[in-house]
Structure 1
Amino acid sequence: MWLVVASVPLLPAIIMASARHRVKVASLCRRALAWTLRLLRGRVCVRSTHAFVFSGCTHGKADSVLETFDLYADTHPSLCISPQTGEALDEAVRRLRPSRVLELGMHCGYSSVRMLRLLPSAGRLVTVELDPLTAELGEEIILVAGFKHSQFQVLTSSSAEAIPSLHSFLQLNQGTSEGLNLVLMDHDPEQYLPDLLALEKERLLCPSGCAVLLIYRNQRDGDRREVLGHIGARPDRYSVKSELQCLTEIFYQRKSTS
């Protein structure tokens, strides 16, 4: 409730911004309220999921953590991806064998654990989560699953803030042939295209090939069409590998111009 109260002082700024940019005030207010309600529900879900998994799993066993997640989702609302989507994610990780992975949208740590257990010994995951509480509880679940901080890094920030800082966290040098081999987007679908463009601008996608997995959770088709429209307009760099109900896999490759 405090988040709703805290959002009230922002209304004058919303009204001024809407007048300047000719955006309907009602639309902005609805989006602000929807964001607040999603955050409130998300925090409740994360607390409940964390407590269930932490107390019910075998500590140090990643598969036990995932099984407990799935058991919770059988009887409770959950922000975790479904087991079917998880299996598709597993298949992609096994096929790609990525060494550098970026996850945008950590949630409860479910997808983080799924990917970490399949990465090679030298593999590294950077996961980005906007909400501090979610990031803290998700990080604890990753540690409970048996992984060490040398294998992953949690960044508590927006994706827009995190992306420019990834070179240092991933120990990448601009202009080299290195980069991210796999990107999982499971945050705000409206940010998928801006973040994809930012990753390309920062030269964070491995030029020899990077898979980008997009999770869609009953979102409007417009978000998906926007991304696919950009992909279709760039056949020299992007292609769609697969489209499932909740998971779309695209592939980025920058061909040599020599």
Structure 2
Amino acid sequence: MSSTLVAASVPLFPAVMRFWRGALAWTLRLLRGHASPKDTHAFVFNNCIHGNPTSVLATFDIYAETHITGAIGAQIGHALDEVGRRTRPSRVLELGTYCGYSSVLLLRLLPPFGRLVTVEQDPNVASLAEEIILVAGFDDTQFQVLIGRSSRTIPTLHAYLGTGPRTSDTFHMILMDHNPSRYLVDLRALEEQGLLCPTGCTIVLIFRNPRNRMMAKLYNLVEERRDCYRIKSQPHGLLEIFYKST
């Protein structure tokens, strides 16, 4: 009888350990509170391998295990990584840079001629993010950090897409991770400005709260504009919409 009980309990041990590790990490995050962008930047800068994007992302994830940060984190990051690998964009717009986690994640997926334009309204946070992107090994020919509100920046974006045979004045992917209340109005502004690639643009919207009311409004947009929009996928914390002009 006792040997049966011991044998049955052995497979449960790894699961129990994962549970307690998760509980401990959650408790530490709660006790330490929300980490500032400056603290997040300092940890990543001092602990990652410079010039190694994978190390930079892993260091963000290590910090997030015991601190509440504004970075998207490993779970949403994995979902975003899958979308990027599947769609293979060459020109990406990011609204909401924070400390540069998703910027680094996307830049490592772009082709040699690819370009990322990322928008952050807080100049101090933008400066921290730019340093992390450079630390990851990317140079300023591959990305542009713009400072300002999305409403004021979107009308200026054509100027940052460059010229030449491999460039265009539209984006293949839009990542929105700023203020969810701006998602719908900014998406409409991007379409009105002709910044969405007419042959296909992937729009990725980050939702840390799955009950955010903005999701219902985006569903309505897709329903009303079936000629241009359709929902492609909805993994954890992420809504992927595909746009194609008729």
Report the TM range for the smaller structure's normalisation: 0.7 to 0.9
Distance 1:180 1:240 in 2: 18
Distance 1:177 1:122 in 2: 12
Q: State the match for 1:228 in structure 2.
A: 219
When the two structures are aligned, how many residues end up with a matched partner? 212
Q: State the match for 2:102 in structure 1.
A: 111
Distance 2:132 2:112 in 1: 20
Letter in 2 for 1:186: D
Identity %: 54
The DSSP-based 3-state class of the residue aligned with 1:119 is coil
Structure 1 portions without partners, runs of 5+: 1-40
After superposition, what is the alpha-carbon deviation per residue over 1:49-105, rounded to whole angstroms, capped at 9, x for unaligned?
000000001111111111110000011111111212111111111111111100000
After superposition, what is the alpha-carbon deviation per residue over 1:25-46, rounded to whole angstroms, capped at 9, x for unaligned?
xxxxxxxxxxxxxxxx98x520
- 1:135–1:121 CA distance, 2 compared to 1 (3 A): same
After superposition, what is the alpha-carbon deviation per residue over 1:115-162, rounded to whole angstroms, capped at 9, x for unaligned?
001100000000000111110000000000000000000000001111
Whether the 8 Å CA contact 2:79–2:236 is kept in 1: the answer is no
Distance 1:217 1:138 in 2: 20
Q: State the match for 1:53 in structure 2.
A: 44
Distance 1:223 1:74 in 2: 28
Whether the 8 Å CA contact 2:98–2:129 is kept in 1: the answer is yes
RMSD: 1.8
Distance 2:120 2:169 in 1: 24
Whether the 8 Å CA contact 1:172–1:179 is kept in 2: the answer is no
Ranked by relative contact order (alpha carbons within 8 Å, sequence separation 6 or more), the top structure is 2
Q: State the match for 2:119 in structure 1.
A: 128
The DSSP-based 3-state class of the residue aligned with 2:65 is helix
Whether the 8 Å CA contact 1:212–1:250 is kept in 2: the answer is yes
1:167 aligns with 2:153: no
TM-score, with structure 2 as normaliser = 0.82
The DSSP-based 3-state class of the residue aligned with 1:240 is strand
Q: State the match for 1:207 in structure 2.
A: 198
- 1:198–1:76 CA distance, 2 compared to 1 (3 A): same
The DSSP-based 3-state class of the residue aligned with 1:221 is coil
1:186-205 equivalences under 5 Å are 186-205=177-196
- 1:232–1:72 CA distance, 2 compared to 1 (3 A): same
Larger radius of gyration: 2
Q: State the match for 1:95 in structure 2.
A: 86
Letter in 1 for 2:172: N
Match of 2:144 among 153, 160, 163: 153
Letter in 2 for 1:168: A
Letter in 1 for 2:74: P
The DSSP-based 3-state class of the residue aligned with 2:92 is strand
Whether the 8 Å CA contact 1:177–1:208 is kept in 2: the answer is no
Q: After the TM superposition, which parts of structure 1 deviate over 2 Å for at least 4 consecutive aligned residues?
A: none
Q: State the match for 2:75 in structure 1.
A: 84
1:59-78 equivalences under 5 Å are 59-78=50-69
Whether the 8 Å CA contact 1:208–1:253 is kept in 2: the answer is yes
